[in-house]
Homo-oligomer: A and B are copies of this chain.
Amino acid sequence: MSPAEARRKEVPSDMTEAEWTQRINLAACYRLVALYGWDDLVDTHISARVPGPEHHFLINPYGLLFEEITASSLVKVDLRGNQLSKSDYSINPAGFTIHSAIHEVREDAICVLHLHTIDGTAVSSCMDGLLPLNQTAQFVTHDLAYHDYEGVALDHDERPRLQRDLGNKNHMILRNHGTLTEGRSSACIIWSGPAPCRCTPACWARPPIRSSRW
């Protein structure tokens, strides 16, 4: 057993093994996003559902860089935004609005990834959105929703419209803002195999070229 595997077995006394595993996977996901340069300093969020019927989920402590986030520092919240784990940090209200909307209605959305990459933000600023111009984009475009910009997402009233616009799709362009992807597990995002959700951030990063073929 490697030191990393041993660490996974050391479940803190105030949480279930399922939550601990989810925290480890989600923290690794934050680190990978930072490694690939998809982060935006302290902004954007990746959330992961804590297994169970309560729709509790984990989100980043607002104020840490993604490369600084650990399994222990992630904050557990409920759907009303109450912090259920002790932390020196609070959470970003705008991030809570978006992620709680998805976790409330999508039981399959175990992990929700929201990004402001330069390319993703540029595509979100284009009237045409993401065009199916190449194989990479087509992995996304057949399963892609759009949500119009309503200002910084501080108003919980936006949640029903986020839910309606996403519907049963797994990818969404937040117009004039950024991108959002949901996956079946947070582990799938860090799995070194061909997990579709691992590939999606790379898809968002691709610039669409308006070819005369379209």
Contacts and interface: CB of A to CB of B under 8 A. Distances in A.
B127 A212 contact: yes
B176 A41 contact: no
A203 B41 CA distance: 11
A124 B118 contact: no
B135 A177 contact: yes
A192 B125 contact: no
A176 B40 contact: no
Contact of A135 (B63, B176, B192, B198): B176
Given A125-B134, A125-B211, A135-B177, 18 more contacts: A41-B198, A42-B192, A43-B199, A63-B192, A63-B194, A65-B192, A116-B136, A118-B205, A118-B206, A118-B207, A121-B134, A122-B209, A124-B134, A125-B133, A126-B211, A127-B212, A134-B177, A135-B149
Contacts of A194: 42-43, 62-63, 92
27 contacts: A40-B202, A42-B193, A42-B194, A62-B194, A63-B194, A64-B192, A65-B192, A68-B192, A92-B194, A116-B135, A118-B205, A118-B206, A122-B207, A124-B134, A125-B133, A125-B134, A125-B208, A125-B209, A127-B212, A127-B213, A133-B176, A134-B149, A134-B177, A135-B149, A135-B152, A135-B177, A135-B178
